[in-house]
Amino acid sequence: MIDKLAFGRTGHESTRTIFGAAALGRVTQEEADRTLDVLLEYGINHIDTAASYGESELRIGPWMARHRKDFFLATKTGERTYQKARDEFHRSLERLRVDSVDLIQLHYLVDPQEWEVAMGPGGALEALVEARQQGLVRFIGVTGHDLTVARMHMRSLERYDFDSVLLPYNYLLMQNPQYAADFELLQAKCKQRNVAVQTIKSIARGPWGDKPHTHATWYEPLQDQKDIDAAVNYVLSRPGIFLNTSGDIHVLPKVLAAASRYSSSIPAQEIVQTAATLDVAPIFTV
Among candidate residues 141, 149, 144, 161, the one with its CA nearest the CA of residue 185? 149
Low-confidence ranges of the chain (pLDDT < 50): none
pLDDT at residue 286, rounded to an integer: 64
Q: What is the pLDDT of residue 1?
A: 80
User: Among candidates 90, 29, 85, which has minimal Cα distance to 56?
Assistant: 29
CATH entry 3.20.20.100 includes domain 4-275:
yes
Q: Mean pLDDT over all residues of the chain?
A: 96
SS3 assignment for 249-271 = CCCHHHHHHHHHHCCCCCCHHHH
**Helix 82-96 / helix 124-133 crossing angle, nearest 10 deg:** 50
Within 8 A by CB and 6+ apart from 176, the residues are 147, 282
In whole angstroms, give the CA distance from residue 238 to residue 211: 32
pLDDT tens, 145-163? 999 999 999 999 999 999 9
Residue 59: what pLDDT? 98
